[in-house]
Each structure stands twice: as structure tokens, then as C-alpha cells.
Structure 1
């Protein structure tokens, strides 16, 4: 992907028009456990990944390293069932509230944000 132009997608035009994408056509997507508020992971979506997420009820992401779509849980069984999807105030980040089955992180932990806090004020 080049520029801010999305690749062809079935995403509703009114949603696509609102999105502010990175130069490679992506928006960060934060997955959050819907009932506890626990932040699980960050993935990347283009218009088509967002469309698939909205229409299938399963989180679909764009792999920047493999340059392909992947549905969370298709390989691991650790599925993210979508409860709601929202854009932030700038429309440059997606918040996907999910019901996570098993660990969210590829390391096998519940969340990708469990490696400890960074020191403040140093």
C-alpha cells in the first residue's frame, strides 16, 4: 500500500471516508476485553480488515510482516468475538471490544501488556 489510499474494500463508504490512515493505509486497532476493560493487544487494520471485523463478528487484522489478512484465533483457537467497534475522536484508531477466548498474546499470555511497567520520572 502506498499513500493514504486504501486498497479496494467492501467497507461502507461513509465509514471509509471517516478513517484517517497511516501512509501505508492502516489504522491501529486496540482489542479490549468488553466486560473488564482489560487491554489485550494492538493490531493493524486496513479498510478490508475493518469490513471483515464488522461483518463476521471476528477480529481480522492486516499482518505488516506477512502482508496478508489474519483472523485472530484461526490458528491458535484463541478467538476474539467482537462485541462493539468504535473510532476515536480523530478517526485514526479503532477500539474493538471483544470477548477473548484464551490468551490474546502470541507469547501465550492473556494480554500483550504484561511485561511490567516502565519507570516514571527517571
Structure 2
């Protein structure tokens, strides 16, 4: 396991916590509607879910290489790819991709990530 300086460990843990918080919000908000079409029709909810999913990727991007290598079993590639799945060409958000990512994919990622957040000491 790679050694991580205490300050870097704190930054990594903070970013991991933020990542999970954004995933939880996106999952909760997207799951409150029955379909991608319903999500797209709800302008504020759609934008909220999209922003949270983009922030998931931004938080993942801020994690150090050392942190990622210390926990290789986490789905780093999938986390980095979330934005590309959601945002199509010309920054147009694909409603179906957003809905699927925020409901199905987020649930899987939360199952994988939550134990690591719960293990962080205050």
C-alpha cells in the first residue's frame, strides 16, 4: 500500500465524502421520478441531478493517485467516465443516460463506496 501524507489523506477523504454525498443526492432525486422522460420534464430536478453527477466526477478527479492505488477495488474508471456518459456532444445532456446513471449506476457505486466513507475517522 502506498504511503499518503496526512494532509493528502485528509484531502482525499474529504473528496471521497463529497463524491458520495453528490451520488446520494443524484440517486435520491432521480429515483423520485418514474422515468427519464419524467426527469427531463422536471427542469429543476433534471438540472440538480445533472450537476450532482458532474460533481461526482469532479470529486473523483481530485483524488490522488496514491489514494486510488491504495484502494484499487473501487471503480475509479467508472467514476471518471460518469460525465462522459451523461454529457453528449456539445454539452447536451442525454436524459436517458442521466437517469440510468443516477438511478442504476449510482446505486451500485454507493454500495461500493459507502463502506470506505463510513470507515473514515472523525
The TM-score bracket by the shorter chain reads: under 0.3
TM (norm. structure 2) is 0.26
TM (norm. structure 1) is 0.26
Bigger share in helix: 2
